[in-house]
Structure 1
Amino acid sequence: MDRDLWSGLAIFGEIVEAGSFAKAATRLGLSASALSHAMRVLERKLDLRLLDRTTRSLAPTSAGEALLLRLRPAMASVEEVLGLLDGAREHPAGRVRVNAHRPAAVHLIMPRLPALARDCPDVLVELVVNDGFVDIVAERFDCGVRHAQGLQGDMISVRISNPVPLIFVASPHYLADHGRPEHPDDLAQHRCVSYRHASSGALHRWEFEQNGITSERAMPHNFVTNDVDVMRDAALAGLGVACLIKAQASHHLMAGDLIEVLSGWAPTLPPNHLYYPNRRQPTAAFRAFLAAMRL
């Protein structure tokens, strides 16, 4: 729509409601001469006289009255929408779309959602689990969660976890059949459960860390998956040695279903960060979600 036309219509409605140019000018913070000019432009564009004016009074013409009958509901709808936007800035309500890798979704986000649901019941969280990298802007997510080394440089990031320890594990019956590896070199004689990166399609190279020295190598494997929970299940099933996030394996370690191997060789991943596009006016719902996720 013509910007001058839309502005003129809003000014016309304000003048009629105020009953004078002077009062309308005070409401709008403009001069009476500016309003008079806007009305002349509007009437010229529409080729209609909308106001009958004298030195003491003004009233809409019949054409002006007909226009107002349609204009007032439209302006009320606009004001209602603007009011909803104001509410979105103040009251936490509405949807927050989040993209996170599975361990973060399970061990970081989900445990913090009950408090958010209690304190902000009108916030709807849509959590999409994806272990690959996603363009959160193109896919219309409000934020994502990844380890620090995977963040895009033009994003705002907030740390939501401590560094994430990994652990090498195998099932008791696998170790009974194949022996226990004591050194990374021993894995050449073992079966390994490997991970294929969802985004690049590359097989993950295992990392080893001891005394501040880090190395990585490709592992012999007899089972490959792109899902970290399936990796855990494969280790539980005795398919081989797996490298898991420690939190993912802790319950099974306590139950004796998995046993740690290569103790002291497992590396630690960087902390998880919640990241989102630089935005000047985030909604109250997003601010509430962000506050709930902080350490």
Structure 2
Amino acid sequence: MGALGLYVVGHEGIVFDLQGIGDMESRGYLPKDYVEILPCMAAFAVVVETGSFIEASVKIGVTASAVSKQVSKLESALSLRLIERTTRSLKVNAEGQQIYKHCKSVLESSANVFRLKDRLADGPQGLVRIGVPKSLYATCSKLIPDFLSAYRDVNVQLVCGEKFDFISDSIDVGIVITDKPPEGMVARQLFVVDFVLCAAESYLNKSGLISHPAELPVHSCITFIGDLDKQYWKFRSLDEFCEVSIPGRYLSDCPEAALTATISGIGVSCLPLCLAHEALKSNQLTNVLPEWNYKGALQGTAWIVYPPGQLVSKRIKVMVEYLMSELVALSGAWSVGR
């Protein structure tokens, strides 16, 4: 094939080597100027299968003259004669036989699109990529197994991160913590993500009780790598604001690791309430400074966001509804034991 060839790829490889733009060759796309040739390919395939322009016209639903013009247009585009015509008969030549195989694959692929449409309409199926922030990753990950059991034709990829580009990252459903949901997306409010300052009784018995945030710099503190507020923790009470520098004895970018270290008595940490509530409820952890509220970059209102439009796939719809139902129900219990 020439360096400037243009072609369509079918089941068996390269279909047509046409004149055109070189960079299209590596991607296997038919250029825009040749898109109108696709109906001609389909018409040619039907003509070969029926052996008649008239019978082909009946199947396609146009006149025999229109079918003949489409075949001629394909021959012109390819600079090849495909059919030897007489007034009474037609014969597909050797070149036409080779081209027919690939035109038939184009026709079959088109039919498969609609067969797939019918199958997809039966129920949710396919892959759903979900973007989840670190503070909610553990909570969401616990919900996915039940979803997979309920929807056996849906696959899930759970991606952890604080910021996503829904297009370049191929995210179908995202959970974001923000005061302003991203524009151009459907956003449904979930709950407020709170953080809680906590420690194990074993640590407090050893290091002493904490009565004010200003005392934290002398304590063993557990902070998050990558947290914008890792150098400082900010707190607000009813009548006071306090910002303290935190040295951080143990740093991790994993909230679950910080939870484990805190339960082990390593020190004091600010944890997402959704992650710490069970340990607080079971008295594995104690809420330190309950009259103070932590204010940080990783807290705020959680939203579930997904692309707009009436044609949102069923797999995305069921995932959104499932996460909405489960997360909102869970959030009602997170304040217990705080």
Bin the TM-score by the shorter chain.
Answer: 0.7 to 0.9
Q: Aligned match of 1:101 in 118, 127, 133? A: 133
Alignment of 1:199-214 (within 5 A): 203=230, 205-211=232-238
Residue 47 (structure 1) aligns with: 80
Q: Indicate yes or no: 2:171 matched with 1:138.
A: no
Q: Indicate yes or no: 2:308 matched with 1:274.
A: no
Alignment of 1:90-239 (within 5 A): 90-111=122-143, 113-114=145-146, 116-130=147-161, 132-149=162-179, 152-159=182-189, 161-197=190-226, 203=230, 205-211=232-238, 216-239=243-266
Secondary structure of the 2:167 match is coil
Q: Distance in 1 between matches of 2:308 and 2:293?
A: 35
Q: Distance in 2 between matches of 1:185 and 1:243?
A: 15
Secondary structure of the 2:152 match is coil
Q: How far apart are 1:58 and its partner, in Å?
A: 6.0
Greater RCO (CA < 8 Å, at least 6 residues apart): 1
Whether the 8 Å CA contact 2:177–2:303 is kept in 1: the answer is yes
**Which deviates further from its counterpart, 226-235 or 215-224?**
215-224
| TM-score where L is the length of structure 2 | 0.70
Whether the 8 Å CA contact 2:230–2:246 is kept in 1: the answer is no
Whether the 8 Å CA contact 1:232–1:249 is kept in 2: the answer is yes
Q: How far apart are 1:277 and its partner, in Å?
A: 4.8
Q: Distance in 2 between matches of 1:146 and 1:93?
A: 24
Q: How far apart are 1:214 and its partner, in Å?
A: 6.3
Whether the 8 Å CA contact 1:104–1:272 is kept in 2: the answer is no
Structure-2 change in CA distance of 1:232 and 1:59 (3 Å)? same
Structure-2 change in CA distance of 1:100 and 1:6 (3 Å)? same
Q: Indicate yes or no: 2:275 matched with 1:245.
A: no
Structure-2 change in CA distance of 1:124 and 1:112 (3 Å)? closer
CA RMSD of aligned residues (A): 3.5
Secondary structure of the 2:246 match is coil
Whether the 8 Å CA contact 1:97–1:125 is kept in 2: the answer is yes
Q: How far apart are 1:82 and its partner, in Å?
A: 4.9
Residue 262 (structure 1) aligns with: 289
Q: How far apart are 1:13 and its partner, in Å?
A: 2.2
Q: Distance in 1 between matches of 2:221 and 2:99?
A: 76
Whether the 8 Å CA contact 2:232–2:244 is kept in 1: the answer is yes
Structure-2 change in CA distance of 1:69 and 1:138 (3 Å)? closer
- Which amino acid is the alignment partner of residue 39 of structure 2? S
Q: Distance in 2 between matches of 1:85 and 1:216?
A: 57
Secondary structure of the 2:169 match is coil
Percent identity among equivalent residues? 22
Structure-2 change in CA distance of 1:61 and 1:189 (3 Å)? closer
What does the per-residue CA deviation read over 1:225-275, in whole Å, with 9 as the maximum and x for residues that have no partner? 222112212222323221112231222223322111111212483332233
- Which amino acid is the alignment partner of residue 236 of structure 2? E
Whether the 8 Å CA contact 1:195–1:228 is kept in 2: the answer is yes
Secondary structure of the 2:159 match is strand
What does the per-residue CA deviation read over 1:24-78, in whole Å, with 9 as the maximum and x for residues that have no partner? 5576565665444322222333431526365xx7654345455435533453244
Structure-2 change in CA distance of 1:233 and 1:40 (3 Å)? same
Structure 1 unpaired stretches of 5+: none
Number of aligned residues: 288
- Which amino acid is the alignment partner of residue 251 of structure 2? V
Q: Distance in 2 between matches of 1:155 and 1:29?
A: 42
Whether the 8 Å CA contact 2:130–2:159 is kept in 1: the answer is yes
Q: How far apart are 1:119 and its partner, in Å?
A: 3.2
Structure 2 unpaired stretches of 5+: 1-29, 326-338
Q: Distance in 2 between matches of 1:254 and 1:208?
A: 23
Whether the 8 Å CA contact 1:193–1:222 is kept in 2: the answer is yes
Residue 37 (structure 1) aligns with: 69
